[in-house]
Amino acid sequence: MAGELRILKFLLQNETRVITRSELLSEVFGYKGEVASRSVDNRIMALRKKLERNRKCPIHFLTVHRVGYKFVR
């Protein structure tokens, strides 16, 4: 839950741009260098379950394929 809140806060602070997975891993979780991790994807999925009306067709937590994620109010 704490990781989800940190991601949500970071996305809200940067809602005008697409955030890469590696940036989230670095800025939110403190990982250095390239890390192959699904933790960001899993936490975004958890946020969608909790906050999207239809998690299969999200309107707030958008995936930008091959780039990362973007939050839209």
Q: What is the pLDDT of residues 52-64, one digit of tens each?
A: 999 899 999 999 9
Note the pLDDT tens digit of each residue in 9-68. Answer: 999 999 989 999 999 999 999 988 776 678 899 999 999 999 999 989 999 999 999 999
Structural domain containing residue 63? 2-71
CA angle 37, 26, 65 (to 5 degrees): 55
- 32-27-54 Cα angle (round to 5): 120
The Cα–Cα gap between 41 and 20 comes to: 11
* CATH number of the domain within which 33 lies: 1.10.10.10
pLDDT score, position 15:
92
Instruction: Report the domain count for the chain.
Output: 1
**Residue of 38, 9, 46 whose CA lies nearest to 22:** 38
